[in-house]
Amino acid sequence: MKPSLLHLTGHALLASPVFFAAAVSAHDVNGEPHTAYETSAGPPAILLAQAGAPQNRTQVGARTVRSNRPAQAAPFEAFAPKVSVRWDERFLFVESNGIPAHNMMVGITAWQQQVPLPQNYTGANAWQIPLTPVPAKEPRSIKGQFLRGAIALAVNGIPIFNPQNNRGEVSQEIGELDEWSGHCGRADDYHYHAAPLHLQKIVGKGQPIAFALDGYAIYGLTEPDGSQPTGLDAFNGHTTQALGYHYHGSTKYPYVNGGFHGEVTEREQQVDPQPRAQPVRQDQPPLRGAKITGFESTGANSYKLSYTVNGDKRAVLYSINADGTYPFEFQNGSAGTTKQTYTKRERGGGGPRPDGERPQRRPGEGPGAGGDRPPRPEDGTAGPPPREGGGGKRRDGQQEAVSKFAPDAMKKPSAIFILTSPEISADGKLPMDYTGDGSGATLPLAWKGAPAGTKSYALIMDHFAPGNVMKHYWTLWDIPAGTTSLPKNVKDVGKLGTSFKGQIGYEPPHSQGPGAKTYVLTVYALSSPLQITQPPREVNRDVLLAAMKDKVLASASLNVTYARGGDAQPEGQRVPRREGGPGANNPPRPPQPGVPN
C-alpha cells in the first residue's frame, strides 16, 4: 500500500506523506479473531479552513478548550484540527471535509465507479449529535428502514450509513466495502457501512468510536475496561452502571447500532435533519468484474485509483483544482483512455444552523448526507430529466415528451418485499421468448413480503438507455391486493397502459446496439388504488408514477439483461441507477470507463 494522506485547506485536497501501520487483527464480541478491519488509521495532520468563529468552538489540536466543553467532544480530539466541534445547549456540531486519514477504496469488488472527493460538512451543513439523548417510547430498528442517509457519525468525522444498502443487501457481505468498512456514494462522498473498529486504536478503549444520530455513544468490541460486553439487545446496545445506555460495534450484522434506542425523526427513509453531500459529477453505474487494487496521491491535489477488470489493469486519475474544476482521466486498459472535466456546483447545506433553525431547501432538493442514500425528490426532477423514448416520434407520428421522472422515482426498496421470476436464473438473463426476438410474451412474476396495509399493486418495466433516455415497456395498475404473482402472458389482471412507443400493452425489448442491456421490473405496493382518469391509451410511465405520489408503501425490483445473439455484457455497460441521488442539478454523465465513445 503506497503511503498517502488527504487533507483539506480552503476546501481543497492537498497531499502529504503519512505512513500506514501494518494491519492488526481485531476480535468480535465473542472474542473470535477477525481480520476484515484495518487498524492502520492514524491521527491526521489536516487543517480545515473555517468560516467565522462561532461561540463554544473547540480546536482541540491547538488545545484551545473552553471549560464548558461537553464530554462528547473528547473522542474527536485525536482527529483535530481536521475535525472541529462546537455546541449549544442541545447539540454537538461536528465539522469535517469527509475525508479520513486512513487509505480508502482498496479491496472493493462491487464498485459503482465513484471516487473520494471532499465534502463541505461545515457551518449550516455540519453534523449534529444530541447532547442529551432521549429514550424513545418505541425504539426503531434499522433493518429494512433508514436505508438512506447516515445513522451514525464516526469520531473522525466520517458518516456511517445503514449496513444494508437501499436494496436491502448487507454491503459488508457483497464486496461493496473497502478494508476500512467504507466506500464512496453517488456524490463521491466517502462513508462507512459498518462500525470503524480500527479507530479504537487511535482513541483508546475508554472512548467511543462513533455516535449514533440519536446521541448514544458507540464503543468498539469491548467495554472501556477491556471486558467483553454482555446482554446486548437487538440494536447491539445495553446499559451499564458506568456508561448508561450505549451501543457496540461488531464483526457481524448489524456491525453498528442496529436501531435507535433514542428519539430520532425519520423523513423519506432517513434520519432528519442531516448534512447534504454535494456532487460535482453525475453518479455512475456499477462496473461488473472490477476490483479496486490501490488508491494513492500522485501529487498536489491529484489522485489515482487503480483497479482491474477480469485481469485488465485500469485506473482513474483526477485532480481537484482551486478554480473549482475537477479533471478526470479514465484509463480503460484495452478500451483506451477518455477524459472529462467537471465543474463544482455549490448548493446550500442541509443540516441545522447553530441555533437549531433549518435552512430553506431549494426546489428539487432532498434532505440527506450522502451519495448512495439520500433520496431523489418524489417528483423525480433531480438531475437532467430523462428523455422519454429518446425524444423521437412515436408510431402515431407525435413527438415524445421529456420524462418528468428519474429512473428510481417513487421507489421505496424494502428488505422483505421481494420480486422474482421462475424464468430468471442467478445470472439475470432474460430468455429470448420474452423479447422482440422471440414470441414477445410477458414474463411470469411472483412477489412476497408486501407491507401491511397494501390495497393495490402497480407494475412498470423500464430501461434507462444511453443518451439519458427513459424507455418503458410495460405499465400495469389496479392489480388486486390479494395478488402475489402474474402468469406468463397475463390477461385480465389489472389495467394495462402503454409502452414508450404509445401502444397499449407489453412492448418486448429488442436490445438495439451491441452488448447486453438491463431492464428493470418494479412492483409497487400501494396504500390505496390509483385514481387515474385518463383512458388506458394515455397512461404511460409518467402518468402512472404521478398517480402513485404519497401512496407507495414499498417497492420491489428485478433487474434482467438481454443481449442479441447471447453477447456477454461489456465491462462498464450502462445500467439503470440503483440508488437515490444526492440532489438537483447533477452534471451530465461522463464517458464510462471501459466503454469506447
Q: Give just the sign of the alpha carbon dihedral 366, 374, 477, 387.
A: positive
Q: Which residues of 284-355 form beta strands (DSSP E)?
A: 290-299, 302-309, 312-319, 325-331, 337-343
Domain boundaries in the chain?
A: 26-271, 387-566
d(CA 213, CA 221): 20
pTM of the model: 0.56
pLDDT digits (tens, 9 = 90+) for 142-193: 998 999 899 999 999 999 999 998 778 899 999 999 999 999 998 999 999 9
Per-residue pLDDT tens for 502-521?
Answer: 889 999 998 776 678 889 99
Task: Choose among 249, 184, 206: nearest CA to 78.
Answer: 206
CB atoms under 10 Å from CB of 207, counted, come to 20
How many Å apart are CA 386 and CA 396, to the nearest integer? 21
**What would the pLDDT profile of 395-434 be if each residue is shown by its tens digit?**
444 444 456 787 788 888 888 999 999 999 888 899 999 9
What's the confidence (pLDDT) of residue 399? 40
Domain 387-566 in CATH 3.40.190.80? The answer is: no
Instruction: State the pLDDT at residue 513.
Output: 66
DSSP for 480-499, please give it.
ETT--EE-TT--SSSEE-B-
pLDDT per residue over 432-487, tens digit each? 999 988 899 999 999 999 999 999 999 999 988 776 678 999 999 999 999 999 99
- What does the angle CA 8 – CA 11 – CA 14 come to, to the nearest 5 degrees? 35
> CB–CB of 404/380 below 8 Å?
yes
What is the C-alpha separation between 272 and 148, in angstroms, rounded?
11
DSSP 3-state of 199: helix
